[in-house]
Amino acid sequence: MSKDPLLARARAVWQELASVPVPVPVPVSFGPAGGVDVVVSPGSRFCPRGWTGIVVLGGAAVVTAPTSEAAARIRTALAGLPVDRLTDPESVGGVLPTGEVLGPAVLAYLAEEDFRPAAPPTDLRVEEAAAGSVELGGLERAAGAADADEAGLDGMSSPAFVVRVGGQVVAAAGYRAWPGRAAHVGVLTAPAWRGRGLARATGSSAVRHALAQGLLPQWRARIPASRRVALALGFSELGSQLSIELL
């Protein structure tokens, strides 16, 4: 299928997340391929407060800056960088003095007709439970802080979709409702149970639920394994995201 409708929906999500104060002379926009729109937005939800957020979708970028002075610096510094390098920390760090960096992360989205459901191994099953009713602490401890933070399951607004072994949760997925009617999907599997398709199975259940609500499934991945799960479910990688602290 053409990715244009999917791209338009994805861009609408991030245009809302830019949180540019209104009224503004020109609405924030990704524009044509190769374009870079740098906007002043102290309340941007692209990045931590006071940081600069960069999102590239469909070959065009929106950059949020915390102040007008920062925006001017960013416009000048990024003018010589191709759009496809704007979420590369080394490239950006070569033209702007940066402190802490978050990302980059690949942004993937799913159209309902592209969805490829996945089931768990025959000896296991995915259970659905109300958000907050499932104790995920053991799973998060087993997976480690970095992976647990990446999954973000503590902020789920959807039901939890879990696989249990011996009464213990070994894999879980869910999503958080985002602006623009997006469903930000997160999955987490205990290290001892990885490689058995549990991320695909639980993620599939979360995606199916989101689609049934008319939401746009979004998958944000920093590591190759997570990207492979999304692609297996039918997601299309449409762009990337980077957050930087300017010095």
CATH code, 159? 3.40.630.30
Confidence of residue 19 (pLDDT cuts 50, 70, 90): confident
Predicted confidence at residue 1, as pLDDT, reads: 36
Same domain? For 143 and 93 the reply is no
Decide if pLDDT at 34 tops 90: no
The number of distinct structural domains making up the chain is 2
* Angle 159-160-162 from CA coordinates, rounded to 5°: 145
Same domain? For 121 and 232 the reply is yes
Tokens representing residue 36 in the block = 């870079």
Residue 175 structural domain = 112-237
Same domain? For 135 and 96 the reply is no
Check if the beta carbon of residue 131 is closer than 8 Å to that of residue 34.
no
Same domain? For 71 and 129 the reply is no
Predicted confidence at residue 53, as pLDDT, reads: 97
Decide if pLDDT at 61 tops 90: yes
- How many CB atoms within 10 Å of residue 189? 29
pLDDT digits (tens, 9 = 90+) for 176-210: 999 999 999 999 999 999 999 999 999 999 999 99
Find, among 39, 34, 46, the residue nearest to 84 by Cα.
34
Tokens representing residue 112 in the block = 């309902």
Predicted confidence at residue 2, as pLDDT, reads: 40
Q: Which residues contact 68 (CB under 8 A, 6 or more apart)?
A: 40
Predicted confidence at residue 87, as pLDDT, reads: 97
| Mean pLDDT, range 172-179, rounded to an integer | 95
Tell me whether residue 214 is exposed, middle or buried, using C-beta atoms within 10 angstroms of its C-beta: 0 to 12, 13 to 18, 19 or more: exposed
Find, among 209, 222, 134, 131, the residue nearest to 170 by Cα.
134
Same domain? For 175 and 208 the reply is yes
pLDDT digits (tens, 9 = 90+) for 100-159: 999 999 999 999 999 999 999 999 999 999 888 888 889 999 999 988 888 888 889 999
Decide if pLDDT at 27 tops 80: no
Same domain? For 96 and 121 the reply is no
